[in-house]
A and B are shown apart, each in its own frame.
Chain A
Amino acid sequence: MKTNSQGGSPPPVTSINASRVNLVIIVIIGILSLASLYLGFKSFTEDQITAYIYILIGALGFAAIGYMLFRGGRPSSQTKQDIPQVDILTTLECPKCNLRRVREFKKGDYIFKNDEACTRCDGNMIISRIHKKKDPEKEKKQNFIE
C-alpha cells in the first residue's frame, strides 16, 4: 500500500517474554516441585520408596518448567486479533447552523461528503471527521514523560 508519510523512529520493540499467565503457572509449578523435592530429601532416610516418588515428582515439575521455557514465549501481541476490526465514528456538521452529530461509520462515507439533510435547518450536513472510536482502557495506559 502506498503512503507518503516520512519515516521516523523505529517502532517500539514487542517483548517476547512468556505471558503473565504462563509466568504464574511456572512459579506455581516451581513452588510445588521444590516442596516435593524437600519432602523427598526429608523422607529419604525413613522411607526410600516414598522419597524417590517425591523426588521424581519434583524433577518432573522442573522438567515441565524447562519445557515451558524452552518452548519459548510467544510474542505478547499474539493474543491480539490477527486482522483487527475497530469501531469507526463519522462526525457530521451542518455548515449553516453548526449542528454536530456523531454516528457509526457507514460504507461510502468520506470526509467532506455532502451527506444527509440537517435535522435542525434546511441545510445539508457535511462529513467533517471520520475516526476510530477511542479505547478508554488503552488511553489509561498511555503515560508520557513530558
Chain B
Amino acid sequence: MSILIGQILQQETDFNVIIQTLFSLAFIIYLVYAQKLQSLQMLNQIEATLRRLKKIRDEARGVTLNTINEVGKPGVDVSNKVDRILEFISIPLTDMDPYGIVDKLDQYLKVNHNIFEAEVKAIAPNASEIERQNLENLVGLTFELNYIYKAMRHNYLMGKKTMNIYIILQVHMILPLIMQLVESLTVGIQATREGIPIGDSVGPIVAGRLMKDYPKRDISKEMVSAEVPFDGRTLIVMKAKGPGGTVGTPDEAIINILNEKEGKVKIIIMIDAAGKMEGEPVGAVSEGVGAAIGGTGKEKFKIEEIATKFKIPVHAIAIKQGQEHVMAPLVEELAEGAEKAGESVKRIIMDYSGPGDTVIVAGIGNTIGVGQ
C-alpha cells in the first residue's frame, strides 16, 4: 500500500502539489504553534482531572454532611458551618529564629486541634465521644480534599491565564501524584464514617493486644496505658484511647511515664506504620532503632529529647504499607503484619532487657476501630 501511495505521490499531478503544499503548511504551523498546542493539550488533561477532583470533593462534603446529621443530630442546617470549617486557615509559624520552634509548634498544634474539636462538637452536639472523634477525622479528610481542589484550581487558572507552558507543565507533571494522594484520602472516607480500623491503626493494634486483659489508666490527653507483667519484666504498654479516631499524645505519655519512673526504664519500643518502598510486600515488619513516629516531628523531637536525657535506647518496629493503605480500611496483610510485630516486640524485650526491668511499649498511630 505504501509503495502505491509513494508511486501516486511521485506523479507530477496537481493533486501532488496540493498535498505537498498542505504538508509544508502543516509543518510550518506546527513549528510556530507546537508549544501552544502542547499547552492546550496539557490544560485539557488538567481540566479533566480537576472536574473529577471537584466531583470527589463535593461527594465527600455530602457524605460528611449526611454523617453529621445522622450521628450528631444538630436539628438545624449545618451546611454553612461545615463550609466554614472547610475554609478554616492555619497560618504557618515563622521560623526566622528557630530557637524554641518546637514548643511554639506544640502550642500551635494544640490550638488547632482544640478549635477543630470545638467546631465539630458544635455541629454534632449529640454525637458520643467516639462518634465525634470519627467525625473529626471525616471532616479532616474533606478539608484536605477541598484544599487540594482549590490549590489545583488555582494553578490551572494561573496556567490558563498566562498560557505559560512552564506553569502548566509543573501542574501537569504532578497530576498523577496528586490523584494518587486524592485516592488515598477518599478510601479513608468509608473507614472514618463507619469506624473501621485503617492502615495507620497497626501500632495501636499491637499495643492493644498486649494490654487488653490488664487494667488501664489515662496517662495523657487521649492516651491510655497498662502495666503488663511479662517474663519477670514490667511492660508499660500505651496507645491512643480507642476506639474513636485519634492519635493521642504519645510524646506526653512517654514523658509522663519516664518522669513518674524517674527514668528507670530499660528500653522504649515504638511500633508504627511506615511507608514501604515499591516492591516491598505490604505488612512486612522491620526492626531498628529510633523514634518510630511520623506527623509534624514535634512528638519525635520530644521523645528523642527525653530518651536522651535519661539515656534510654529507643527501638523501632515498622509495619510497612503503601500510601494508599494508610487511611484505607485495614487489609488482611496488615492485620497479619500486626501479629508479626507483636512477636518482634516480645523478642526485643527478651533480647534487650532482663528480669526486673521496666520496658515502655508504645503503639503509635490512629486508633480508629481499635479498643484496648
Given that A4-B365, A110-B371 are known contacts, is A84 also in contact with B186, CB under 8 Å in the complex?
yes
Partner of A88, one of B196, B203, B209: B196
CB distance from A104 to the nearest CB of B (A): 12
Digitize B194-230: 1 where CB-to-A-CB distance is under 8 Å, 0 elsewhere: 1111111101010011001000000000000000000
Chain A residue nearest in CB terms to B318: A6
Chain B residues with CB under 8 A of A6: 272-275, 292-294, 318
Chain A residue nearest in CB terms to B9: A41
Partner of B144, one of A1, A15, A80: A1
**Cβ–Cβ contact A5 & B329, under 8 A:** no
Q: Which of B119-127, B172-180, B350-358 contacts A (4 or more CB under 8 A)?
A: B172-180
**Cβ–Cβ contact B52 & A7, under 8 A:** no
**Cβ–Cβ contact A9 & B277, under 8 A:** yes
Digitize A45-86: 1 where CB-to-B-CB distance is under 8 Å, 0 elsewhere: 000000000000000000000000011111101101011111
Digitize B255-299: 1 where CB-to-A-CB distance is under 8 Å, 0 elsewhere: 000000000000000001111111101000000000011110001
Tally inter-chain residue pairs, CB-CB below 8 A: 210
Given that A85-B190, A107-B195, A111-B197 are known contacts, is A5 also in contact with B272, CB under 8 Å in the complex?
yes
**Size class of the contact patch on chain B:** 35 or more
**Cβ–Cβ contact A74 & B276, under 8 A:** no
Chain A, 16-42, CB within 8 A of any chain B CB: 16, 34, 37-38, 41-42
CB distance from B188 to the nearest CB of A (A): 6
A136 within 8 A of B: no
Chain A residues with CB under 8 A of B371: 110-113
CB distance from A31 to the nearest CB of B (A): 11
Chain A, 90-110, CB within 8 A of any chain B CB: 105, 107-110
**Cβ–Cβ contact B4 & A38, under 8 A:** yes
**Cβ–Cβ contact A131 & B332, under 8 A:** yes
Partner of A4, one of B185, B194, B364: B364
Chain B residues with CB under 8 A of A107: 194-195
CA distance in complex: A138, B359 (Å): 41
**Cβ–Cβ contact B175 & A16, under 8 A:** yes
**Cβ–Cβ contact B332 & A34, under 8 A:** no
CB distance from B291 to the nearest CB of A (A): 10
**Cβ–Cβ contact B250 & A38, under 8 A:** no
CA distance in complex: A71, B118 (Å): 46
Given that A3-B200, A105-B196, A134-B332 are known contacts, is A83 also in contact with B59, CB under 8 Å in the complex?
yes
25 A-B residue pairs with Cβ-Cβ distance under 8 Å, sorted by A, are A1-B140, A1-B192, A3-B327, A4-B272, A4-B293, A4-B294, A4-B366, A5-B200, A5-B275, A10-B323, A14-B180, A16-B176, A42-B4, A44-B8, A72-B41, A72-B42, A72-B48, A75-B176, A78-B48, A83-B186, A84-B186, A86-B190, A109-B195, A111-B201, A112-B212
Interface residues of A (CB under 8 A from B): 1-16, 34, 37-38, 41-42, 44, 70-75, 77-78, 80, 82-86, 88, 105, 107-113, 126, 129-132, 134, 144-145
